């Protein structure tokens, strides 16, 4: 074979497709079976007689009845070929098949450590070669890899005999396996190419956002709070976490294995929780924390019972607060806990609502709709949108100076400080430290004047302290 193809050479075409050659020594131009695995029955040779191209071709001369002489280009494209990816296999073949002798080309999606996720007979049956044993027949097949190709892919070529009088002598040359995939855009809202998530992961896109390793920080406000779903307390009665939902998975998870549960929404369509009706009119805000993984937009609803009798269930007039990467009520951020205070007046004065009134006097449910995966926690009503915290005992920590203009020093009584997270009074995280020492300096020089909350984690648990920047 004259055309020696380099392994993993990338050819990028203007139409947006990428082809990658993954076969090794497909023309046998090494003069031997380098990169091939042999399971001979009869003889297998690399010969110079009548190759399709170049100098060499492979001969499988099976002289053993009821057997298969097998040649494999095995476990190719590991780390390059992905699940569900298109692969094109081409080769030339000639030979003599008689008396029940046949030849097959088979394609396997391999698992790490053995086994396959799919096995395909290319063409659906025996190869149809020319009746003249000296005339080469070109073959081309396109197939799709299985769900797991961690062990790469394998092309298997055979010369298979039948009973008495069977002949199976095959010659193969010019063998190629190429992957073909649309170049991922990393912004088309779908998992494609070698992405490991929607528009993320793989060699082309940004890494996918990991699940949170810590729960949302739990801070009461400086006002009066009414807790619907929070580790700070429960004020509602007959709470039902999954009162209704569409497709997707909706569950509670213990992120830090400390008994503090957070909500997790996977592949959101719509989902809601319920409780006995409450009057929200004494309050000014509804608060929630969210941690978005794959979301680009979702909406939050507080369901007013009287309004829901006529305006509900996805009606365009139904009041909602939308988080979106663009065009929402608030810009959605991914990969970080976000603390949000939504004015209840937003629901009262929702512009599209013209056929009824949201008065908040009989709220009984929350609802999320949209798409993607996210976590949530600390849904409560409040008269204030400012977080507050009580100072911890001096015997646990020493903080100085406080107030400070430049640096806060936090010191323990021989207890290791594992992590420090600093939040502003709206719940936005502004600093993170992992000192692993008994004393840590917190740089306040870049912070605005005001009150901050530091969440300090030690082997004994977490504590909150108030910091003042002057």
Q: Residue 134 has which token pair?
A: 């000296």
What pTM was estimated for this model as a whole?
Answer: 0.58
The tens digit of pLDDT for each residue in 92-123 reads 999 999 999 999 999 999 999 999 999 999 99
Profile the chain (470 residues) by mean pLDDT over runs of 10 residues: 38 51 97 97 97 97 96 94 91 97 97 94 97 97 93 97 96 94 67 73 84 89 95 94 96 93 95 97 97 90 95 92 92 92 96 94 96 95 83 64 91 88 85 91 91 86 84
> Nearest 5°: CA angle at 220, between 461 and 349?
145
Only one residue has tokens 């307390």, namely 233
The tokens for 176 are: 């190629």
Half-sphere exposure of 270 (CA within 13 A, CB side): 11
Listed in order, strand segments (DSSP E) in 397-449 are: 397-400, 407-412, 419-424, 429-433, 439-443
- SS3 of 281-297: CCCCEEEEEEEECCCCE
SS3 state of residue 243: strand
Beta bridge partners of 421: 432, 455
Helix, strand or coil for residue 246? coil
CB 7 within 8 A of CB 24: yes
pLDDT of 15 reads 36
Q: Is 4 helix (H, G, I), strand (E, B) or coil?
A: coil
Task: Please name the helix (run of DSSP H) or strand (run of DSSP E) that holds residue 397, with its range, or none.
Answer: strand 397-400
Instruction: Look at the block and give the residue holding tokens 């988080």.
Output: 323
* Contact predicate 168/62, CB 8 Å: yes
In b/e form, how buried is each residue of 438-451, taking b as 16+ CB within 10 angstroms? eebebebeebeeeb
> What integer pLDDT is reported at residue 3 of this predicted model?
40
Question: What domains does the chain contain, in order, with CATH numbers?
Answer: 10-182 (2.60.120.260), 225-382 (2.60.120), 397-469 (2.60.40.10)
- Dist CA 221 CA 131 (whole Å): 86
């Amino acid at each position: 074979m004259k055309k020696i193809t380099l392994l993993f050479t990338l050819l990028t075409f203007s139409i947006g497709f990428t082809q990658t050659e993954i076969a090794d020594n497909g023309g046998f131009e090494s003069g031997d079976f380098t990169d091939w695995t042999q399971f001979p029955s009869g003889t297998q040779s690399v010969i110079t007689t009548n190759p399709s191209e170049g100098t060499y071709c492979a001969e499988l001369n099976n002289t053993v009845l009821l057997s298969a002489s097998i040649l494999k280009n095995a476990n190719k494209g590991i780390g390059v070929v992905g699940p569900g990816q298109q692969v094109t296999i081409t080769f030339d073949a000639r030979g003599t098949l008689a008396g029940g002798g046949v030849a097959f080309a088979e394609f396997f999606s391999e698992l790490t450590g053995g086994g396959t996720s799919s096995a395909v007979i290319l063409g659906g049956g025996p190869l149809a070669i020319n009746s003249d044993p000296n005339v080469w027949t070109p073959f081309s097949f396109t197939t799709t890899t299985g769900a797991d190709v961690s062990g790469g892919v394998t092309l298997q070529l055979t010369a298979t005999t039948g009973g008495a009088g069977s002949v199976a002598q095959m010659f193969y040359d010019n063998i190629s396996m190429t992957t073909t995939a649309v170049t991922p855009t990393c912004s088309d809202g779908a998992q494609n190419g070698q992405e490991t998530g929607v528009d993320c992961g793989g060699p082309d896109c940004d890494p996918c956002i990991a699940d949170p390793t810590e729960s949302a920080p739990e801070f009461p406000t400086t006002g009066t709070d009414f807790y619907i779903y929070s580790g700070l307390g429960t004020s509602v009665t007959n709470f039902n976490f999954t009162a209704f939902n569409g497709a997707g998975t909706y569950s509670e998870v213990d992120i830090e294995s400390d008994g503090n549960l957070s909500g997790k929404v996977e592949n959101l369509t719509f989902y809601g929780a319920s409780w006995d009706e409450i009057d929200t009119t004494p309050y000014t805000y509804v608060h929630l924390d969210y941690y978005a993984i794959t979301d680009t937009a979702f909406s939050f609803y507080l369901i007013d019972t009287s309004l829901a009798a006529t305006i509900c269930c996805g009606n365009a007039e139904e009041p909602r607060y939308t988080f979106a990467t663009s065009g929402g009520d608030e810009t959605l951020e991914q990969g970080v806990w976000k603390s949000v205070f939504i004015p209840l007046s937003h629901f009262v004065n929702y512009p599209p609502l013209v056929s009824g009134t949201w008065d908040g006097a009989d709220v009984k449910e929350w609802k999320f709709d949209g798409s993607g995966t996210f976590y949530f926690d600390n849904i409560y009503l409040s008269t204030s949108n400012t977080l507050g915290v009580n100072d911890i005992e001096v015997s646990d920590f020493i903080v100085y100076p406080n107030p400070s203009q430049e640096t806060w020093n936090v010191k323990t009584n021989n207890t290791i400080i594992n992590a420090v997270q600093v939040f502003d009074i709206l719940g936005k995280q502004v600093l993170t430290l992992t000192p692993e020492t008994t004393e840590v300096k917190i740089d306040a020089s870049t912070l605005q004047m005001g009150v901050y909350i530091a969440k300090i984690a030690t082997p004994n648990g977490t504590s909150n302290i108030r910091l003042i920047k002057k």
